[in-house]
Structure 1
Amino acid sequence: MTLRIVQWTTGNVGRAALKSIIERADLELVGVYAHGPDKVGRDAGELAGLDRQVGVTATDDIDAILALRPDCVSYMPLFPDVDDLTRLLAAGINVVTTSEFITGAAVGADARRRLEEAAVKGDSSIFGSGVNPGWIEYLGAVASGVARNLKSVKIAESFDLTILSADGNQDDFGWGRPAGDPGHADDVAEGVGEFRDAAEMMATVLGLTLDDIRYEVRFAHATKDLKVAGRTVNEGTVAGIDISWFGVADGADVIELNAVWTLGTAIDPPWTTNMGYLIEVNADPKVIVRVDFLPDNMETATFDDLIAMGTTLTAAPAVNAIPAVVAARPGIVTYADLPPITADIAPRLG
């Protein structure tokens, strides 16, 4: 069955999703919602960066999107608008999203309740993911399936974000804030609150009930003035962040979600980054999984290819889940509610 899909926004991640939707045989693009007036009226093929027209033009008219009655909206603004989401769900339209949403904890109890009620009313589902948080926590839970006597799972992300420093999703990190700036730790916690969602989701997949989720953060500081795009980072200000969310059960840390982000190497303490993910399953036997991502054209890859790979990694977990989400029970759903999610098989050429 071919599912009728609307792409909601066409920023960096939205463009990657739009391209995937257009290319998949089991999905039919029927609409595009665009915030920017410069995108309204333009063909989706152009907005996706393809060299062809697809016959679907972007609109900023939400009523027109609702009138299409799509099976699912691929919703990808940087931040979620709960009013728009509840309107879609109550109209019976399923939603997959990368907008800092997994269980709804990050948007607050009242917003989560509204979304759940709207989805139940409309007999629709909402699913959120990205590469992290989202997919990597699911992978970490699944990696425990070859062991017994599980004690804990730790997932560590480690990246130098210099080439992405201007990206808006780093605005909450506080790059360049003075050392010891009051409230910085709380601001980072709020800015990456979706990791709390991920801990909740991971616990559900593992069959755990968490008593508490706690948060810790450390900062590293620039040893010289840094030249990074979109930021002012002077000597002595924040240029490294080490955050951890701990899922606690029966007084023990059973889940740890750690991320180390830096702007280069001129920092104190001199943290190193592995530019990848490490999953450590503390069980019998212990399981260690290293996850790296490489462009499919590694020999000829350009800087733009690397950027495109990052947006694909964010968009693909949501787009690939569309068929399962359309078939899922009403309400907020996570990986714990869905069958295994995989990519579609590319058509053979020649």
Structure 2
Amino acid sequence: MGTGKRGLITAAVAVVCAVTVLAAPGTAFAAPAPTPSPTPPPVASVTRTAPATNAELEAVRQRLEELYHDAAVATDAYNAAEEKAEQQSAEIVSLAKKIVAGRERLAELKRRAGAAAAAQYRTGGLPPEAQLALSDDPAAFLDGAGRILQGERAAKAMLGEMTRTQADLVQYAKDASAQWKRLEANRKAKAAARQKIKKRIAEAEELQKRLQKEEKERLARLERQAAQRAQTAWLGSGALSGNTAGASEQGARAVRFATAQQGKPYVWGAEGPGSYDCSGLTSQAWASAGRVIPRTSQAQWDQLTRVDVEDMRPGDLIIYFPDASHVAMYIGDGQMVHAPRPGRTVTVAGAGSMPILGVVRPDA
């Protein structure tokens, strides 16, 4: 999280503590506990005298895919909670400013009401109507009648504004309190997601530590072979037959940005410039092209315009897996650029090397 976001949330915390005294104390709020993911049976250790068989390494590869997929899902949840927390903090600050302005306005109205009361006291306590009745000057009577009518209208308007201002202050305080509760809920969601990410990555790292050097090399070959099989099958399906679509101007800029990040490490929750997660890379690439898109892969899938795979063009985003937990940018010729997973760097790979859910176009 950048320093700007931290500053905004810190300001929101300080402001809410000051302004929510206007609202009645509410019921304590707790974020719903995240549904625990079923824990698959452990993969047998392959650290032994005899090298692991291909079947054992394939089981390791599949388990690693599961662990990193769980980490990717949790990363999306973390990023979504982070984005919501930023929005809620900004709303809290906005409400706090409204409360301050409302208090100042209410104080001014009370001052004017007090001044009117003081003026009446100086005239002996007689209301304007009584003073008018005692006047024997016809011109003064008519002039006074007009002034009384204007005064009554002004007083009624001032009382109405005071009532509305007081009601607004109460509502602002209630809104700030509600936003505060939602902010706290998102903080808990972020903490839960963070713990899940760390746990899954730690499990994956521990699993890989058990492998001997030669086994790690064979595992890497198995991973490349699996990706190549998927890519070959995808291209062989005719998904890109006749596709010659070129990038839009913005799409070309986004592609240039994304491909220029090659070699930078994957870090969950990162949005650059030194590291990225998958949706951090795609969102920043399109931001560099002048278009703001949602932060997470799931939000990108939900909110951006969908296009058929056979119609995709460079700059479009390819969403992977049934839960939209991974995203990459299509760069043409059946290739994509993405931030793959922890321990890897931003790289170019076959666009069909993972199960494609669909394609979205940020500049449709």
TM > 0.5 fold call = no
Q: Return the index of the structure with the highest Cα Rg.
A: 2
Interval of TM-score (by shorter of Structure 1 and Structure 2)? under 0.3
* TM-score normalised by the chain length of structure 2: 0.22
